[in-house]
Amino acid sequence: MRHTLPLAPQFYVTAPQPCPYLEGRMERKLFTALQGDNAERLNDALSKQGFRRSQNVLYRPSCADCAACLSARIRVADFTPSKSQKRTLRRNRALERRATSPWATEDQYDLFRRYLDSRHSDGGMADMDVFEFAAMIEETPIRSRVIEYAEAETGALTAVCLTDVLDDGLSMVYSFFEPDRARDSLGTYIILDHIEIAREAGLPYVYLGYWVPGSPKMGYKAKFSGLEIYRGGAWEPVRDPSAYVADTHPLSTDPIAEQVANISLPDMRAGPHRG
């Protein structure tokens, strides 16, 4: 008997676990599988509604009593670098960009391990081995690229970003860099360069993942002009980042069934789509 995948994606909720951003809170995610001929169409549609990709899964925070995580993106046309960001560009002008297919290498993994051991030794990815790393990079059903940054003179790998190409922008799935070069603000530099890549490609947005007001880990995202957040089912410009506070009210989120009902899905019968 032949079995076919349902046209409408099925949504599920993860079990609660400690939140990595706000102490004493529990996180929960709403997720769906990303598979089949319409994977790109679904990824494009749900990315515009605050979802993120991790390998073959699309997810969005769906905590029972907290709405602190806000999906963030930069509107490329409205971005102007600050004085500090201009200095970051100058400090890293010796780096060369290399865009490759999503294929993991030993050099990438070595850099990834140094980054985790220095910056996130107690995080959820701390025990990731080389095979899990390869899966993170290579298991993608959509149009993805690995953007490498290397020293022009020595060729030494300095920073890496796994990037998805959406129909309206670039989504920075995961980035890591040489931890010993804190002064060079490599994380900021990778975002600045992705803004330039999007501008060159005529793409209006750079998706940054989630911004959590009040979380030191996420504070850097609020320093980019042209920032927008997804809240209440729509994107809105961020005028003053300091005016936002983490929404941890117990009635701040809708019931799961209502959240799923409000997700706008693409026409999955229309066939494969490429942005």
For 24-80, the pLDDT digits (tens) are 888 999 999 998 889 999 999 999 999 999 999 999 999 888 888 999 999 999 999
Mean pLDDT of the chain: 90
The band of 271, judged by pLDDT with boundaries at 50, 70 and 90, is low
- The rounded distance, in Å, linking the Cα atoms of 160 and 158 is 7
* Predicted confidence (pLDDT) per residue in 203-220, tens digit: 999 999 999 988 887 888
What are the sequence ranges of the domains in the chain? 11-70+247-261, 72-243
The band of 269, judged by pLDDT with boundaries at 50, 70 and 90, is low
Structure-model confidence comparison of residues 177 and 270, the more confident one: 177
**Mean pLDDT on 164-175:** 97
- The rounded distance, in Å, linking the Cα atoms of 228 and 211 is 10
Structure-model confidence comparison of residues 41 and 272, the more confident one: 41
Contact (Cβ atoms closer than 8 angstroms) between residue 35 and residue 55: no
The band of 275, judged by pLDDT with boundaries at 50, 70 and 90, is very low
Q: Is the pLDDT of residue 146 over 70?
A: yes
The band of 147, judged by pLDDT with boundaries at 50, 70 and 90, is very high
| pLDDT for the residue numbered 107 | 97
Q: Is the pLDDT of residue 122 over 70?
A: no
Of residues 27, 74, 83, the one with CA closest to residue 248: 27
Does 3.40.630.30 match the CATH number of domain 72-243? yes
Contact (Cβ atoms closer than 8 angstroms) between residue 42 and residue 33: no
Length of the chain: 275
**Mean pLDDT on 145-154:** 96
Low-confidence winner among 2-11, 39-48, 73-82, 166-175 (lowest mean pLDDT): 2-11
